[in-house]
Every structure is written in structure tokens, then in C-alpha cells.
Structure 1
Amino acid sequence: MSSIYQHFRPEEKEFIDQVLEWKREVEERYAPKLTDFLDPREQEIIRSLIGAQGETAVSFFGGTAEAERKRALIYPDYFIPEESDFSVVLFEIHYPEKFVSLSHPHVLGSLMGLGLRRGKFGDIILSQNRVQFFAAQEIDNYIELHLTQVGKINVTLSKQPFHKVAAKQEDWKEMSCTVSSLRLDAVISAFTNQSRQKAQTWVRSGLVKVNWKQIENPAFECAEGDVLSVRGAGRAKLLRLEGKTKKEKWRISLGILK
């Protein structure tokens, strides 16, 4: 079993154990298992542990093919999954958009304030004045009943078919830079154009996530493919490690989302 763990980071062990338990459950019961919404790193871990061969397979769906957070369906090889098997619903939030605006933190905070786990909600989409979010179908009635405010703003909800999902507005750009090391504080300093000390403060204050998990250690070692986010300062993906300079600094390529 240790040979499985060596391919992942130590902090991912608990989730790996959970995935292996789901796999065992599907094999024993010979019936599908539906998970909560998972972030892309969790999806990647499941994909690598379940694989395409063997008695079980896995598919993902989060409302659209482009969704970031998706539910996983782990199933026996006889099963052919359909969209409805993922039990995902799309809500649109109606609010007085002429007078106020809603932000992602406002919406997420209000959803979490209902006492539900983050895994019960998928992507939150803000597109011009439209605000939508995906949720697990098993809690849709609870959400409709209790989500009457976002922050201090009165809102109403309506369910929408998936073809009415709003287009995500994201502006990524690629940049190349040189960093003294692959430490988290060094990479954050590079993509935010702030000092290393400022980056360390952000990390220690709990404002930084790597692969959607909060990391409070500035010396955390980043790896190719990692997604880093700093609350209020944007998000970046470590696209490529392009080798070292003569002075032993790393040349890296980052995708930046502002």
C-alpha cells in the first residue's frame, strides 16, 4: 500500500484512503457510488487510483464539461453512466442587480452559512449581472427553502436547465519568470509581483491555497501542475518547470488569472 502513497503528497493520504474505500465498496456491492463535488486535484487523484482498466471505472460531471468542481461516479464495468446519475442541479440567483452586485465570496459564504459542506456545491458562476451555482440534487429543496439572502441582500432562486448556464468570464495569461526556489512564498511573490515578506504574511494568515487546500507553510514545495490562489490577489497555475539558470534559480512558466 505504501507504493500508492509515494506518488502523492503526505497531506493527501486521508483522501486516498477514502477513494480506496469507495473503490472497495463498488467492487463488493457491484453498484455505483456517487461522491460530493470534488476539486480538480481530487478528481486527478481518483482518476489515477481508479484508472481505465479493471473492474471499476470513474466518470465526472459538474453541470457542464468545463466545470471546475465535479461529482465523481465510480461504477462497475457493466454500468453506463448518464447525466442524471450525477444528481446535479443548476440554480440562478435573482437579486436587484441595478442597485447591488454579488461577489463569489458573498455567494459561497451564504451557501456555507446554511450549514452544508462545501462538497454539496459545485461551481459558482458570475457572468455580467447573472449569478448561478451548481448544487447536489439531494439538497435542492433545502437550499430553495433557506437561501433567501446573500449577505444582507434579499434574493430568490430558480432552477435552470443546463443549456442556460452562463458563460464563465476568465482571463488567463501566460508569463515566464525566474524564482530563487520552488518554495510557496517565492512563487507567490513572482506571480503577484509583491515582496517575499508580503507573500509569507499571506501564507501564514491562511489566505493561500495550493490545489484548493489551505497551506500555511511558506516553505511548502510547489510542483508542476499546482494551482495556487491568494485571496484577493488572484490565481496562478505552475504550468512548466523550464530548468535552472547558471545561478541555480528556477525558470518557470505560470498561467495567471486576475
Structure 2
Amino acid sequence: METSRARRASSRREVLHTNFLTPPVLKESMLALEKLSDIRAVAQGGYPQAERCRISIGHPDVLTSDPDVIAALSVTGNFGFQPCSHGDFLGAILNKGIAREKLGDIILQGEKGAQIIIVPELVDFIILSLDKVGNVPVSCTKIPLISLDYEAPRTQTFKTVEASLRVDALASAGFKISRSKLVDSVSKGELRINWIPVSKNNTTLKTGDIVSVSGRGRLKIGEIRPTRKGKFEVELIRYL
């Protein structure tokens, strides 16, 4: 986001709210805002593991608590015989003319439906207009954020010793696939680092990076320690 807008909001003692941001944009924006004096920035997505978040920006004297800029909806229907995917719920909402940046995460609830994070000003519109997802009739109700039914991610942590910190070395170890298959995924555009597609398999990774490969899941780079033999002992955290 433009830091000039943040400075202007702070000087005027106003609070500025962004739309929902993707993880890479969110990370970049928060890093930029942290460098500015007399500005407080709060990122909110509705629940601790939220990927898509809004940022509220203002002077610390004004932005004293987390603003109420997130709303949640429960979309329910009989999905037992016709399961619907994340894309089905997203498409049903976007087809109502709502821009993607007005939507946060979509939490699937199996046969019951899904919970949708959204900007508060669109809650009534969705409740009135969203009546079907796929071929399944649905009803929508507003729910408090405390009622969001999410699970903390399950992870498996292990260590590997590699000669380099290249993504092809660490990702092949993390996903337990051959390096040739990993390189093939890179060439097909299936590998992302911090949600951004990567086209070079020699890209260097660092602690905190998130690596994802289509069809194989997600991996986080943990602590990195050099070994006495000039290699790297790397902690890998795989999301199950």
C-alpha cells in the first residue's frame, strides 16, 4: 500500500482500513508500515490462522484497540450428496458482483457448508442474495467471529542436512520427492514461495519462508544451522 496514505491518515488522526490483502502483499505492507514513526498498523483476518487480512492504520493515540472491520457469515445447506469446494463457494459469491478483495478466508465445514469472512458492509447483501452454491440451496446468517469453527493446522516437523539452501534441495526433502520431480513442478509453474510463483529452482530459501507445490501441500522453513562440514541443518515444518 502507499505509505503516503498511511502518513496522511496518521497526521489527520484518522483510521484507514485496507481491503483484504493476499499473504505476500500483507507481509510486504506490514514491513513497510513498521518502518514509519507515529503509525500503528493492525492486521486482522477473523481468526489466528487467517491468510487474507485487512490492515487498519492510524496514529497510536487514535488506533487504541482492534477495529471492528471483519464480519463472518455461515452458509449452510445439504452438501452431503453434492460436496462443494472452496472454489464453488468463492465463485457463488463473486457471481453476485462482489470483488475478491472484499472477501477474506473461506472455511469449509464439510456437509454443513462453509463460513465466510467478509467486509461488514456486504453482510446484508449476501444474506439476501446468496441462495445457491453449485446446485445446493443455501441460507446465510451472520455469526460472531468467536463462532468461527477452524482447526489449528496439523504439522510434522523434521530436520534435513543439505549442501545448499536452494528451493529444489529443501522442497524435495520436505515433500519427500525426487529433485527431478521438484524441478519439473517448478517448470510447470506449480511451486510458490510465500504465495508467489517461482520459475528458478536455484532460488535460496530462508527461515520463515513458505513453500507450496500444487497437489503436495505446504512447507515452512524453520531454524537453519550451519554444520561443521559446511552444510546446513534445516528444520522443515510440513502442513498435513
**TM tier relative to shorter chain:** 0.7 to 0.9
- The aligned runs of 1:89-238 (5 Å cut-off) are 89-112=71-94, 116-127=98-109, 129-130=111-112, 131-144=114-127, 147-238=130-221
AA partner of residue 214 (structure 1): P
Match of 1:34 in 2: 17
Structure 1 vs Structure 2: percent identity of aligned residues? 26
**Greater mean alpha carbon deviation, residues 227-236 or residues 175-184:** 175-184
CA distance in 2, matches of 1:49, 1:209: 22
CA distance in 2, matches of 1:124, 1:90: 10
Greater relative contact order: 1 or 2 (C-alpha under 8 angstroms, separation 6 or more)? 2
Instruction: Indicate the residue corresponding to 2:238 in structure 1.
Output: 256
1:121 is displaced (CA, Å) by 2.0
TM-superposed CA distance for 1:176, in Å, is: 0.6
What CA RMSD, in Å, does the superposition of the two structures yield over aligned residues? 2.8
Any conservation in 2 of the 1:34–1:86 contact (CA below 8 Å)? no
TM-score (norm 1): 0.78
Residue aligning to 2:226? 243
Secondary structure at 1:198 match in 2 = helix
Change (3 A) 1:193 1:66: closer
- Gaps in structure 2 of 5+ consecutive residues: none
Q: Which residue of 1 aligns with 2:63?
A: 80
CA contact (8 A) 1:211 1:228 kept: yes
Conserved? CA contact 2:49–2:152, under 8 Å: no
What is the rounded CA distance, in whole Å, between the counterparts of 2:23 and 2:78 in structure 1? 33
In the alignment of these two chains, the number of paired residues is: 239
**Any stretches of 5+ residues in structure 1 without a counterpart?**
1-17
1:149 and 1:21, CA in 2 relative to 1: closer, same or farther beyond 3 A? farther
Q: TM-score, normalised to structure 2's length?
A: 0.83
For 1:183-208, what per-residue CA distance to the aligned partner results, in whole angstroms no more than 9, with x for missing partners? Answer: 22222211111122221222232322
SS of 1:96's partner is coil
